Structure 1
Amino acid sequence: MKTLKLSSKGPLVKQLQLLLNILPDGIFGPQTHQAVLFFQKSQNITVDGIVGPVTWSLLYDGWEILNNPNNEEEIYSEYYLPNHGYHNQPTEKKHIFLHHTAGWQNPYRVIDDWGERPHKIATEFVIGGQSIHNDNTEHDGKILKAIPNNCWAWHLGIGHQPLHRESIGIELCSFGRLTKGYFEKEENGKPKIIKRDKNTYFTYVGQEVNPEQVEELNKPFKEFSYYHKYSEKQIKALKTLLLHLANKHSIDIREGLPNFIRKEGVKAFDFIGTKKCINSPGIWSHSNVISYKDDIAPQEGLVEMLLGL
């Protein structure tokens, strides 16, 4: 493939611009140059604004996922909620919200649990993970679709707002925040230490976590420095799903949280309120619309993936 740089023109520049999801005018100007720099930085390759063999190869990796000729069933498996588990009202989707389950690794059990509840609370997709005991990866990276036909369920906890029905929710199976050296819970309205071991990581329900399943953040997020790590297979599956949904629903997945990360760093995961999300279609985190939520956590692998979209 021919090398392209500032001032290049022609059909190949248009192809580059389509891959970068910017206006394809066939002129390699400042906007295209900036988009190439962002892409190269996100992929941890030489950031020079010149599109050579390495940059072309990485661009086409994403393009092949986005335009995969395989059918949807090869991206995810259908495991639908019972009819009472969702609103049978197809809607146009403008947003994607990322969650984690604060629980175990099996996506089938997550959906089964939702189906047993009387309320229509669920996300459209669930991505399986790995056991906190590091002894089971059967469902790691497995994508299940729980809600059919562009229907929806409550998943944000923000009341009767359009973000519920106009967004696609994706859950990563993960326990979320962890404590190191102790486990505490409330008794009579006050925190009480239940377990103490300086070399052990605990979930919020007191389960011990294998150290290989722990991510230590550079800065605390929602007052916690340790989180159950999103696996490589989960992040890869999430990227594949995001690219698929972007193509299917015409959602610009570079907007929202990814763009906000470029401007604010990991502060982009903090609470910003529903108004900004409504006015900015794209990808957002549950923590962006509920101040006490900590899903999704700004883990390194997740941030790199989002910046590479």
Structure 2
Amino acid sequence: MKTLKLHSHGQEVKQLQLLLNLLPDGIFGPQTHHAVLFFQKSQNIAPDGIVGPATWSLLCDGWEMLNNPNDDEEIFSEYLLPEHAYHNQPTKKKWIFLHHTAGWQNPYRVIDDWGQRPHKVATEFVIGGQSIHNDNSDHDGKILQAIPNNAWAWHLGIGSQPLHRESIGIEICSFGQLTKGYFEKEVNGKPKIIERDKNSYFTYVGQEVIPDQVIELEDEFRGYNYFHKYSVEQLKSLKGLLLKLANEHNIDVREGLPNLIRKEGVKAFDLIGTKTCADTPGVWSHANVNKFKLDVAPQEALIEMLLEL
């Protein structure tokens, strides 16, 4: 493949645009340039907007994974819930919902906690993350399967609907929203502001997060500007899992939230409503159907990954 850049044109540009899920007009204009930059950033290579051997290789590898996935290759490990913790009623899956745990980085402990609860509340997959103290990230990007054989559990908080039974939930280990300089704690049933270091970031339980794992959104999301960053390894694992599930369940993972992002940008992460999501099989977030939830947050790296599907 020849090297392409802004103002290139021809059949190779059309092929590039198809790989980037763009309208293939054969002209390397600003939209194609922007899409290339997004892709390069997501792959941790120099974002120069020039499509050389490294970028071509990564693009073609991703296309191959999407169209010819290896069904025999397991990208996750089983760590199943006890049978009382889920509904062992296999269903055909039409949707995938993205969540984050609002908690610690160890996916094994997340599933252990679900297994001890009296209610059948869980997601099918959990992706481990980074320690907010940077002291143990052994499980960063590790995918565990908690629910087997297309069974299901409650995970959306929207009542008894097909969206529960016929969807696959994916939980990303992340603390979610953060506050700078303080955190809120309930005292005698009422919220109380606990002041801390004005230059530090804190989780909702008052744990400090190292700055490298903090992302500041350009526009606040449901009242918060700061969030625990989804790691590079988590997003790589999430992308691979989405592509595998797309093939196994015939779910178009470009529909739903990814397609809405293309039309509305970060507004796509707002409340959409259960009817719209139910009418559109694909990938959605918990926040799209539940106005009280902040998972998942519109972080730039997550958006870039979803647009690459």
The answer to whether the aligner puts 1:43 opposite 2:44 as a matched pair is no
What is the rounded CA distance, in whole Å, between the counterparts of 1:57 and 1:231 in structure 2? 23
Given the superposition, is the C-alpha separation of residues 16 and 92 from structure 1 closer, same or farther in structure 2, using an over 3 Å criterion? farther
- RMSD of equivalent CA atoms: 3.0
- Deviation, structure 1 residue 40: 3.7
Matching residue's letter, 2:115: G
Measured after TM superposition, the shift of residue 307 of structure 1 is: 1.0
Partner of 2:43: none
TM-fit CA distance, 1:293: 0.4
Is residue 65–residue 243 contact of structure 1 (8 Å, CA) maintained in 2? yes
Equivalents in 2 of 1:299, 1:15: separation in Å?
25
Give runs of ≥4 in structure 1 deviating > 6 Å.
2-7, 13-16, 31-34, 45-48
Supply the distance in 2 between the matched residues of 1:69 and 1:83 (Cα, whole angstroms): 29
Alignment partners' CA distance in 2, 1:266 and 1:209: 24
Q: Note closer, same or farther for the CA distance 1:154–1:305 as it changes in structure 2 (3 Å cut).
A: same
In the other structure, the counterpart of 2:257 is 257
Partner of 1:274: 274
Shift of 1:63: 2.6
Question: 1:110 is aligned with what amino acid?
Answer: V
Residues 256 and 282 in structure 2, CA contact (< 8 A), matched pair in contact too: yes
Question: Counterparts of 1:43 and 1:14 in 2: how far apart (Å)?
Answer: 15
Cα separation, 1, equivalents of 2:213 and 2:16: 40
**Structure 2 CA distance for partners of 1:164 and 1:272, relative to 1, 3 Å:** same
Q: Which residue in the other structure is 1:131 paired with? A: 131
CA distance in 2, matches of 1:122, 1:141: 19
Q: Which residue of 2 aligns with 1:107?
A: 107
Question: Residue 71 of structure 1 aligns with which residue?
Answer: 72
Give the 3-state SS of the residue equivalent to 2:253 in structure 1: coil
Deviations 1:36-91, CA, capped at 9 Å, x for gaps: 9485464257889xx98666433312134333436243x00011111111111111
- In structure 2, what is the equivalent of residue 94 of structure 1? 94
The equivalent residue for 1:25 is: none
Give the distance between the partners of 1:53 and 1:214, measured in 2 at CA.
Answer: 33
Aligned length: 296
Give the 3-state SS of the residue equivalent to 1:169 in structure 2.
strand
Residues 1:191 and 2:191 aligned together = yes
What is aligned with 2:224? 224
Which whole-Å CA distance do the structure 1 matches of 2:2 and 2:210 have between them? 48
Aligned-pair identity in percent equals 69
TM-score by length of 1: 0.85
TM-fit CA distance, 1:164: 0.5
Residues 32/54 of structure 1: CA separation in 2 closer, same or farther (3 Å cut): farther
Structure 2 contact 262–307 (Cα < 8 Å) conserved = yes
What SS does the aligned partner of 1:306 have?
Answer: helix
Following the alignment from structure 1 to structure 2, what is the Cα–Cα distance between the partners of residues 153 and 54? Answer: 42
* 1:90-149 CA-partner distances (Å, limit 9, x unpaired): 111111100000000000000011111111110000000010101111100000011111
Q: What is the alpha-carbon distance in structure 2 between the residues aligned to residue 21 and residue 262 of structure 1?
A: 11
Give the match for residue 301 of structure 2.
301
Q: In terms of mean alpha carbon deviation, does 282-291 or 83-92 score higher?
A: 83-92
- Tell me whether 1:247 sits opposite 2:247 in the alignment: yes
CA contact (8 A) 1:80 1:148 kept: yes
Q: 1:169 to 1:33 in 2, by over 3 A?
A: farther
The alignment's TM-score, normalised by the length of structure 2, stands at 0.85
**What residue number does 2:177 align with?**
177
Q: Secondary structure of the equivalent of 2:199?
A: strand
